[in-house]
């Protein structure tokens, strides 16, 4: 039988994502899912609204291409990612099989006892390795809106945010998670047509095919591959606007959740997150739509040591 560490080297990056997601059900989710009202800004957009530590959106989606308008009305930076559960697994399985080893392992990691923490995770069930992280909106600053288009297969998903509060508690613990069922009924939406094409891989980092100018853009993000990085998660693409006070070193460090100061409120000074494409499997493609004004920007992945991996790219949008 594989040890926990051996599993990490091959298929484990979805595992930690799901651990973080599962914790929210310990005390913050009701036993019965409650329906949310649907709000549409147009025939092809599904609104996702957060007022504090919540997701206000529909409970079911058609399969295929879906476009989400993520409206962050809160005072915190957030994102959402769709995590596809294996067939037959649900919230009750997370409660019964994940919480005891998760609580123990996470406590040990927070104390700096890395080896002991990993050992505690050996008690977690093997079905976690089947979870598929299927995209969503990347990081979004308070009082901003992002537009994201992803392709979803039919199934049962968890939608969550695991940015940390100032006290170190994950947003998911505070209620930023939602069960979502994707129906075996295709949407009418077509795949968008991008005018700027971004690619991300573990070997080449983040690249794009043309100069990025001011105005309205549809970005595609192609996931050439996907691996588990040092923080046990895969890579994504976040669009960031930088003002004169922005510190790229602080931003790079903040993008690593395993750092006690990483992914924690407040976000780095001088940084405004504008969305992007969240974690997806190799071969997947997502899209995001944005209006760019003149200024300094960056594309960065939520990974440790993004600079050395070519996953922090700065660019200037001219007048």
User: CATH number, domain at 174?
Assistant: 2.60.40.420
pLDDT confidence band for 105 (50 / 70 / 90): low
Q: What is the mean pLDDT of the chain?
A: 84
Residues 161, 47 share a domain = yes
Residues 214, 86 share a domain = no
Residues 165, 281 share a domain = no
Which of 14-23, 109-118, 144-153: highest mean pLDDT?
Answer: 144-153
Residues 306, 219 share a domain = yes
pLDDT tens-place string over residues 228-263: 898 878 999 999 999 999 999 999 999 998 787 889
CA distances 13 to 8, 10, 316, Å, are 7, 8, 33
Residue numbers of the domain that contains 256 = 196-317
What are the residue ranges of helices labelled H in the chain? 4-11, 13-22, 91-97, 99-110, 114-120, 248-254
Query: Lowest mean pLDDT: which of 102-111, 126-135, 153-162, 283-292?
Result: 102-111
Q: Over 60: is that where the pLDDT of 31 sits?
A: no
Q: Over 60: is that where the pLDDT of 5 sits?
A: no
Chain CA centroid to CA 3, Å: 27
Q: Over 70: is that where the pLDDT of 140 sits?
A: yes
- pLDDT of amino acid 280: 97
Residues 49, 112 share a domain = yes
Rounded CA separation 229/305 (Å): 10
Residues 307, 237 share a domain = yes
Q: Over 80: is that where the pLDDT of 18 sits?
A: no
- pLDDT of amino acid 181: 95
pLDDT confidence band for 90 (50 / 70 / 90): confident
- Contact assessment for residue 136 and residue 80, using Cβ atoms and an 8 Å cutoff: yes
Residue 191 lies in a domain: no
Residues 232, 174 share a domain = no
Helix (H, G, I), strand (E, B) or coil at 171: helix
Q: To 5 degrees, how large is the angle CA 175–CA 264–CA 56?
A: 30
Q: Over 80: is that where the pLDDT of 108 sits?
A: no
- pLDDT of amino acid 311: 98
166, 186, 206 - which closes a domain: 186
- pLDDT of amino acid 107: 64
pLDDT confidence band for 92 (50 / 70 / 90): low
pTM: 0.83
- pLDDT of amino acid 34: 33
Q: How many domains does the chain have?
A: 2
Q: What is the share, in percent, of the chain residues with pLDDT greater than 70?
A: 81
Q: What is the mean pLDDT of residues 173-192?
A: 90
186, 210, 229 - which closes a domain: 186
Helix (H, G, I), strand (E, B) or coil at 126: helix
Residues 214, 171 share a domain = no
Rounded CA separation 246/37 (Å): 38
- pLDDT of amino acid 25: 42
Rounded CA separation 162/170 (Å): 5
Which of 40-54, 88-102, 150-164: highest mean pLDDT?
Answer: 150-164
Q: What is the mean pLDDT of residues 79-107?
A: 71
Q: Over 60: is that where the pLDDT of 287 sits?
A: yes
Residue 151 lies in a domain: yes
Residues 290, 154 share a domain = no
């Amino acid at each position: 039988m594989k040890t926990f560490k051996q599993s990490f080297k091959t298929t484990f990056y979805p595992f930690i994502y799901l651990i973080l997601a599962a914790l929210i059900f310990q005390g913050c989710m009701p036993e019965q899912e409650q329906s949310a009202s649907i709000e549409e800004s147009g025939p092809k957009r599904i609104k996702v609204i957060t007022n504090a530590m919540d997701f206000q959106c529909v409970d079911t989606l058609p399969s295929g291409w879906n476009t989400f308008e993520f409206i962050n009305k809160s005072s915190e930076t957030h994102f959402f990612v769709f995590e596809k559960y294996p067939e037959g697994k649900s919230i009750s399985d997370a409660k019964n099989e994940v919480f005891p080893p998760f609580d123990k392992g996470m406590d040990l990691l927070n104390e700096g006892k890395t080896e002991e923490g990993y050992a505690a995770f050996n008690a977690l069930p093997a079905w976690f390795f089947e979870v598929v992280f299927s995209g969503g909106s990347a990081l979004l600053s308070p009082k901003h809106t992002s537009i994201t288009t992803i392709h979803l297969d039919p199934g049962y998903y968890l939608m969550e945010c695991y940015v940390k509060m100032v006290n170190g508690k994950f947003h998911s613990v505070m209620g930023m998670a939602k069960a979502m069922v994707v129906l075996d009924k295709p949407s009418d939406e077509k795949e968008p047509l991008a005018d700027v094409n971004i690619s991300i891989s573990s070997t080449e980092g983040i690249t794009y095919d043309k100069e990025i100018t001011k105005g309205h853009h549809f970005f595609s993000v192609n996931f050439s591959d996907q691996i588990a990085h040092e923080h046990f998660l895969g890579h994504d693409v976040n669009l960031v606007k930088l003002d004169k006070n922005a510190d790229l070193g602080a931003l790079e460090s903040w993008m690593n959740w395993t750092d006690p100061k990483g992914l924690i409120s407040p976000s780095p000074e001088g940084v405004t997150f504008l969305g992007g494409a969240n974690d997806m499997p190799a071969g997947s493609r997502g899209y995001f739509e944005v209006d760019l004004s003149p200024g300094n920007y960056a594309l960065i992945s939520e990974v440790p040591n993004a600079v050395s991996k070519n996953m922090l790219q700065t660019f200037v949008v001219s007048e």
